[in-house]
Amino acid sequence: TSGSRPPTAASAASNARPRSTGPGSRPASTGPGARRPSSAAQAGDASKRSASGSAKVRAGIQSNRKLVRNALEQYCLKGDANKEQREQILRSFDDELVKYERFIILFRSIHTGRHDLRALYGLGEGIWGRLLQVLPSPSSLEERMVALCLRYDSGGKEFKEVPALQEPLSVADAVFLHPQYLQKSRVVVP
């Protein structure tokens, strides 16, 4: 026994080091009683930060620009047969569509199941507007129009189906629409 006194609660708290709770975790905030906010609190903070966004679009939607560009280049428009179209679309994507960070690829037809590019949509001011089209397509996308949502797996270079969600357009990289929302692919002669 030495002559020192046992530490008080206040001195123990000031001398305590932040502890990690597992691999990859960050130390807790400093200060007595500090803790990380819950996901609900973080979501509330995100909505405050982006209060200028439209009510149709949730706060916190992440950019998929790089992923969609890779999908167009390495999947949808791959091969020598699509070289000219691929170069033109990617040039437009890189030069003219720089203000967009969130995109959705519209595929040709759910009946074929093939991932042929019909149009590309971008999120601007809360609306999914058509940015370019290869075949006749709606001028904007709405969730009620969507028959199937897909995410692009860049590692496997394939599209995978996303389970049915409340807000499918907020997570999709590509979609198929219900047939009634697609115009026929006939050539129109003026």
**Residue 27 in this model has a pLDDT that exceeds 80:** no
Q: What is the pTM of this model?
A: 0.65
pLDDT band at 163 (very low <50, low <70, confident <90, very high): confident
Give the rounded percent of residues in the chain with a pLDDT score beyond 70.
Answer: 64
78-98: pLDDT as tens digits? 999 999 999 999 999 999 999
pLDDT band at 111 (very low <50, low <70, confident <90, very high): confident
Q: Are 104 and 121 in contact (CB under 8 A)?
A: yes
pLDDT of amino acid 186 = 57
Beta bridge partners of 149: 175
61-77: pLDDT as tens digits? 789 999 999 999 999 99
